[in-house]
Structure 1
Amino acid sequence: MLRRIHSLPGLLAGLLVMFMALSGAFLSLQPAIAQWQVGTAGTQLDVAALSDAVVHGLPDVSRIVKQASGAVIAYADGAAGQLATRIDPSSGAALGPYETSPVFAFMTEMHRSLLLGQGGHVVAGLAALSMLVLSISGGLLLVNRLGGWSRVFGAAKGTFQQRLHVDIGRIVLVALLLSAFTGAYMSLVSIGLLSTGQDSFIPFPTTADGGAPAPISGLAALQALPLAQLRELVFPAPGDPTDVFAITTNAGQGFVDQASGAMLGFVPNSFGQTVYEAFYTLHTGQGIAWLGLVLGLAALAVPVMSVSGALIWWSRRHNQPRLKHNVAGGAADTIILVGSEGNSTWGFATVLHDALTLAGHRVHTAPMNSLARHYGKARRMFVLTATYGDGAAPQSASRFLSRLERFKPRPDLAFAVLGFGDRSFAHFCQFADEVGAALLATGMDQIQSSCTIDRQSSQSFAQWGVETGTRLGTVLHLVHTPRLPRTTRLELIDRDDYGVEVQAPTSVLRFAMPGAKRTGLGKLLGLGSRLPRFEVGDLVGIVPPGSPIPRYYSLASASRDGMLEICVRKQTGGLCSEFLHALTPGENIDAFVKSNPDFRPGRGRSPLIMIGAGTGIAPLAGFIRHNRHHRPVHLYWGGRDPRSDFLYAVDMAQCLGDARLARFEPAFSRTVGGRYVQQSLRDDVDAIRDLVAHGARIMVCGGRDMAGGVRTALDDILAPLGESAQSLKSTGRYLEDVY
């Protein structure tokens, strides 16, 4: 619901909000320019002395205005109309003509009303209201996404668009809230729904002396008023001894007798006027130039956030399945709840939804996070969920267990849980197991015991459908065809082979677009080498012949390198690894790139500790080769034998030589006194503690067994610092890419 509240005004009023933001950013320059033109004021005169000096220089002066920027403007009546002159506040001398900027005047009217009069004020108000809704809902979504207020400044995860949207949003959120709230208030004032508080009538004084006017420099009320407090002084009509000075100050309005110099009938500002002036200042930055610039910079972020938000919405909408006949939860006899991180589980849920609908059931399918408190007609519930990372809930199920505490099932409601995962992971389908146990704890019966699907097996899913249909008394033909991204054909251009001597064949494979011109001018211009866009650490999905299921490998190169590089160990019976190892230069593969933004070194100069084993060195080597700013990188890597499988040895030697790599500690298990990478870490206790104490980020890539051993070693090493692998992980300083 919160996401819809955030998306709706952004989609409906996106262009209008962007225009208001950009015009507001332009207008934010006005206070700073005005402040710059005024310069640094010296000792200022009191209002009496200033007025006296102005009258001597401009005998026809009718009023003096002090602007929020500090500029003093005198207006005098002349033959050609009213003339405006800039005044030196320290002497009262004329500095030259004053002219308002036609550009700023035009943009101000555009910003306030779009040149549409009263109707334009309403439109501008709706834009401000939309921005306010976007800011509040965006802030709440930010807190939910990052896991609470305590993590609001933690590392953002997701695609490039998601991270950009989050990172910019949390920087400008407060400024946008201020602009939107004050802008909505100003719009309500403009269309007459709120008062400025300036509507009260100030009666003309009847107690004026009426005597001969005294010299202005001697009027006590004006002598007592510092120029800093003046806003406007209107002079009496020439030759009329009964007229008075009308004065407006920061505190209120009143009159000054031109004969006695007494203050007459002073009326303090009302509460409403004080509020209006505060909101006006906060919205425009008038008189507070730095605030105006801050708000202007925040406004410039709005178009970026609008575009990235639209891309996020489109990607989510494009990747979500198109469910037919998805009835409301309260009217359904069957509920399907889905927990998914990358939308793959939704494909299976859609197949189940369609099959049950075809069998005559009224089915409601939704994310697990949308679990209702009660389903009035439902008799069966299916929960299909993946497990994220080391046993965590996927994105669409992150609040399911907490919502389940308030769930009140019908007495005859039964459930079944189907978990999706990869058995090579230590916590295979752990979240699905937790969900099954939690549902049992509610007192519901099971349709059947919880089942699991390994590596999105269509065959296992079909078998589960047969068993489930038998228990329901319904024939369920569940045929799931994985939906793959569009693949790109790549040609193998080069390979380096290792590890044959230690029975662990491993190859570094480099691919480019077929027929790419990789020599001479073609190489210089990049002709024919338009690879899909990717970064080091992203994943390439390769679809081997005879299988619809892609296998993923970490990338050791970025697309700007002009080639795609992976490191693959040959697995006996491994369909994809055997296919890749059999390739010769000139042969092709079909592949696609999957972004992996959660495995990045990040920006900054803090040290990096990179730890890997075997082919896990591939992305780490890519990061190091791209370390052109010489960030301190310390690499710990484990192989088998330096004579046969010392992967990237030449590259790492070059990086050590030019300071892209600060330190390299290889460990080999099949040599005399063989050792593993964990032992290298334990031998460097002091160095690792010092690096972590200075803000180091740790990156681990390789097999799951190695990663577990590394976590154990680091927990022991970091215990005296009060840190652990988990504590660093929670703050975004411990990253893993394990398999």
Structure 2
Amino acid sequence: MLRQLHSLPGLICALLVALLGITGAALSLDPALDRLGTSVPAGVSVGDMAGRVALHNPGVEQIQRTPSGSLIVYYSTDQGSRAVRVDPASGKAIAPFVPSAFSRWVRQLHRSLLVDTPGRVAVGIAALATLVLCISGVLLLVKRVGGWRQVSGPLHGSRSQRWHARVGRAAVCGLLLSALTGTYMSAATFGYIADGMQAEPDFPATTSGAPPLPASRLPALMAADLADLRELVFPIPGDLSAVYTLRTAQGDAYVDQSSGALLSYRAHSGMRDAYELVYQLHTGEGLWWLGPVLGLCALGAPWLAVTGAIVWWRRRSAKPRIAGNSAAQAAEAVILVGSENNSTWGFARVLHDALRQAGQRVHTAPMNQFSPPYSAASRLFLLTATYGDGGAPASASQFLDLLPPIPANPAMQFAVLGFGDRQFPAFCQFATEVDAAMRAHGWQAMLGLATIDRQSSQEFARWGKAIGARLGVELTLEHVPAHPRTFSLRLDERIDYGVQEQEPTVVLRFGAGPAHAPVGLFARLFRLSRLPRFEAGDLVGVIAPGTPTPRFYSLASGAADGHLEICVRKQPGGICSTYLHGLRPGDCIYAFIQPNPQFRPASGKTPVILIGAGTGIGPLAGFIRNNTGRHPMYLYWGGRDPASDFLYEPELRHYLADRRLTQLRTAFSRVANGTRVQTRLVDDADNMRRLITDGGQVLVCGSSAMAASVRQALDAILAPIDMSVQTLRNSRRYREDVF
């Protein structure tokens, strides 16, 4: 419901909101420009200023003070009416006042779309829609990242989703203020809210009728401070019954031109003051510094409109298109899907097609369409993501309520596959709840709960093999998620380890392709300019020739280093690792970047504890390389044999020498009295507890088995100080990149 509340107003009013953002940004500069060179001398009265202006500008009819402090004088001459800016200190003219025709046109476009009342109605609706978009957008972001504490943290999703959220996060306060005040002003324009402007002072029935005195001798004008002036209208020359009209920040009055007495006065009501405050907050007039801030935020509106439309279109394009979908009661296998952004449907479609090829009738539907009994089915597959801080995704929000107390078909077996991101504390929590609820209601489990981290095609394929083994069929699940456009990389350097042990690992350093690029300094600059943006800890997707599925590797460098670096171990039967190990300097590959902002050290001076094994050292070495501030950084790393595969040894020694690395603790498993990295942690338990107590953060990279052992060791180490890995994870001080 919340997503629909955000999407519908955005789609309907996208162009109008974008237009208002652009025109609002243009208008936001006016108060600041008006403020330039403007100053109001302290202690000057309206009477003093009126006297000076009348002396230098005979025929003066009106003085206006803009919210930014400029004084505009309107007067008549034989050639017609004139308007000038005047110096507040002397009353002398500074320059003719000529309102910008362009600014007037932009203001009319912003307020009424140049079509008066119908345009004002449309603008009011757009302001209300923007208000709804801001509020719903914030709530969606909070749910997506897992709570208010994580709102300022790393974002995930597609590039369009990340940029939509980043810009929205930066601009939401300004847009929310503009939308709220704009909605208020529109409501006041059409009389739904009183603005207090109708409360005028009573016009005096009589005046003294005596000859007029100079403005500088009139008590009521002398008592009014120039800083409070809004407008002073002079009486008609020669008309002894005419009066001064004085408008100030506090109220409006009529002043006798002969005696200077206050003939009538009406203070502004609270409603009038509220409207004027809203007007200031919306336009920045009188708050000149606010205008540019609101303008920058307003420029986010067209960006949000474009990226929002892209996100919507991609989500719509990803909606299920299931071929050969059997009726629910006729199916032998049922697949139910829980998805928020439709990405889980791609995996469900692959499973659906594989089961059909195995000769089964398959029914696939959202989890909210759970409708037992499935009389002909013997297998129920539940593929679900987790939304935000452990919640149900949109297409599964009603599933637990639909679950009957006992299975309608006792012979049916189920399997739950969860999708999520291990960097979030509530990793696959909803899938865990579904699996537990199914068991509690008496359903038979075909397999234990399985999880997929960051839509891993490899993990999905392994799960498919396990399912196929239970079904007694060959089940090959090859899901190829959409990925960005690839770019060319040319291998510049390779460093080989472990060749003599027949377990080779290689560090590959790529520059920008193509292979025939020129050499020398110009080439290095040329390549640097062509590398995409990335940081150590991001992922590079490599597509080996003849395979549709990319293999992801953690980056050991950032684009600023001038090269793209990965560390790859040759896996038995590994198509992509074998392909990469076969490269020679000058060869080209095609790849793409997948940002991984949740796996990198948080900024600050707190200690950073890096833990890895094998090729997991790659991004950790990149973090150390970028530690130019020499903040405390500790590395615990496990390898096999220091004589053959001490990865990055020269670099690490150098980093120790220049203090980018504070301490290095290694563990080698294939030497006498060999040990593993988790043992090194236990041996150094006192230091670990001290670093964590000092606010330290932990980053772990390597195999999932190693990471599990590290978590177990850390839990034991932290128990004496009443902490755990989960405690650190909840505070974003524990991050993993495992494979």
TM-score computed with the length of structure 1 as normaliser = 0.81
Indicate if the aligned counterparts of 1:247 and 1:254 stay in contact, CA closer than 8 A: yes
1:131 alignment counterpart: 130
Indicate if the aligned counterparts of 2:534 and 2:559 stay in contact, CA closer than 8 A: yes
Identify the range of structure 1 (703-712 vs 233-242) with the bigger mean alpha-carbon deviation.
703-712
The DSSP-based 3-state class of the residue aligned with 1:265 is: strand
The DSSP-based 3-state class of the residue aligned with 1:699 is: strand
Q: Structure 2: 5+ residue runs without aligned partners? A: 452-458
The DSSP-based 3-state class of the residue aligned with 1:242 is: coil
The DSSP-based 3-state class of the residue aligned with 2:157 is: coil
Superposed CA deviations along residues 83-109 of structure 1, whole A, max 9, x for unmatched, are: 223344455455454333344333322
Indicate if the aligned counterparts of 1:29 and 1:293 stay in contact, CA closer than 8 A: yes
1:239 alignment counterpart: 238
Superposed CA deviations along residues 1-25 of structure 1, whole A, max 9, x for unmatched, are: 3223323333443343233212212
TM-fit CA distance, 1:242: 1.6
1:385 alignment counterpart: 383
Inter-partner Cα distance in structure 2 for 1:96 and 1:491: 63
TM-score computed with the length of structure 2 as normaliser = 0.81
Inter-partner Cα distance in structure 2 for 1:516 and 1:226: 76
One-letter code aligned to 1:9: P
Indicate if the aligned counterparts of 1:189 and 1:195 stay in contact, CA closer than 8 A: yes
TM-fit CA distance, 1:648: 1.3
Identify the range of structure 1 (399-408 vs 499-508) with the bigger mean alpha-carbon deviation.
399-408
Percent sequence identity is 45
Indicate if the aligned counterparts of 2:610 and 2:633 stay in contact, CA closer than 8 A: yes
TM-fit CA distance, 1:145: 1.1
Indicate how the Cα distance of structure 1 residues 141 and 528 shifts in structure 2: closer, same or farther if over 3 A, else same.
Answer: closer
Superposed CA deviations along residues 519-542 of structure 1, whole A, max 9, x for unmatched, are: 348844657997787553334455
After superposition, residues 103-502 of structure 1 pair within 5 angstroms as: 103-190=102-189, 196-199=195-198, 203-323=202-322, 336-339=335-338, 345-350=344-349, 365-366=365-366, 371=368, 382-385=380-383, 397=392, 406-407=401-402, 409=404, 413=408, 417-420=414-417, 432=431, 434-441=433-440, 443=441, 455-457=460-462, 460=465, 463=468, 481-483=478-480, 495-500=494-499
Indicate if the aligned counterparts of 2:554 and 2:619 stay in contact, CA closer than 8 A: yes
Q: Structure 1: 5+ residue runs without aligned partners? A: 468-475
Inter-partner Cα distance in structure 1 for 2:499 and 2:688: 34
Superposed CA deviations along residues 399-458 of structure 1, whole A, max 9, x for unmatched, are: 899855544649875575333479xx9x999975642321343x4755977786964259
Indicate if the aligned counterparts of 2:415 and 2:447 stay in contact, CA closer than 8 A: no
1:66 alignment counterpart: 65
Superposed CA deviations along residues 581-618 of structure 1, whole A, max 9, x for unmatched, are: 56667888786654433323455666543221111112
TM-fit CA distance, 1:186: 2.9
2:14 alignment counterpart: 14
The DSSP-based 3-state class of the residue aligned with 1:212 is: coil
1:470 alignment counterpart: none
Identify the range of structure 1 (352-361 vs 630-639) with the bigger mean alpha-carbon deviation.
352-361
Task: Provide the aligned length of Structure 1 versus Structure 2.
Answer: 717
1:37 alignment counterpart: 37
1:698 alignment counterpart: 698
Indicate how the Cα distance of structure 1 residues 558 and 89 shifts in structure 2: closer, same or farther if over 3 A, else same.
Answer: closer
Q: Cα RMSD (Å) of the superposition?
A: 4.7
Indicate how the Cα distance of structure 1 residues 483 and 394 shifts in structure 2: closer, same or farther if over 3 A, else same.
Answer: farther
Inter-partner Cα distance in structure 2 for 1:564 and 1:616: 16
One-letter code aligned to 1:22: I
2:737 alignment counterpart: 737
Superposed CA deviations along residues 628-681 of structure 1, whole A, max 9, x for unmatched, are: 666654333222332211111223344455665454443434445644434554
Superposed CA deviations along residues 160-217 of structure 1, whole A, max 9, x for unmatched, are: 4434433332333222111012123334455676654424565422132223334433
Indicate how the Cα distance of structure 1 residues 635 and 341 shifts in structure 2: closer, same or farther if over 3 A, else same.
Answer: farther
After superposition, residues 580-595 of structure 1 pair within 5 angstroms as: 594-595=594-595
Inter-partner Cα distance in structure 2 for 1:161 and 1:661: 36
TM-fit CA distance, 1:46: 2.1
Indicate if the aligned counterparts of 1:507 and 1:567 stay in contact, CA closer than 8 A: yes
Indicate how the Cα distance of structure 1 residues 68 and 548 shifts in structure 2: closer, same or farther if over 3 A, else same.
Answer: closer
The DSSP-based 3-state class of the residue aligned with 2:230 is: strand
Superposed CA deviations along residues 102-151 of structure 1, whole A, max 9, x for unmatched, are: 44333322322333443433343343233222211101101111223343
Indicate if the aligned counterparts of 1:491 and 1:588 stay in contact, CA closer than 8 A: yes
The DSSP-based 3-state class of the residue aligned with 1:288 is: coil
Identify the range of structure 1 (457-466 vs 670-679) with the bigger mean alpha-carbon deviation.
457-466
Identify the range of structure 1 (525-534 vs 76-85) with the bigger mean alpha-carbon deviation.
525-534
Indicate how the Cα distance of structure 1 residues 582 and 394 shifts in structure 2: closer, same or farther if over 3 A, else same.
Answer: farther
Indicate how the Cα distance of structure 1 residues 228 and 580 shifts in structure 2: closer, same or farther if over 3 A, else same.
Answer: closer
One-letter code aligned to 2:651: D
Inter-partner Cα distance in structure 1 for 2:595 and 2:627: 20
1:472 alignment counterpart: none
Inter-partner Cα distance in structure 1 for 2:448 and 2:716: 37
Indicate if the aligned counterparts of 2:338 and 2:384 stay in contact, CA closer than 8 A: yes
TM-fit CA distance, 1:701: 0.8
Indicate how the Cα distance of structure 1 residues 248 and 713 shifts in structure 2: closer, same or farther if over 3 A, else same.
Answer: same
TM-fit CA distance, 1:218: 3.7
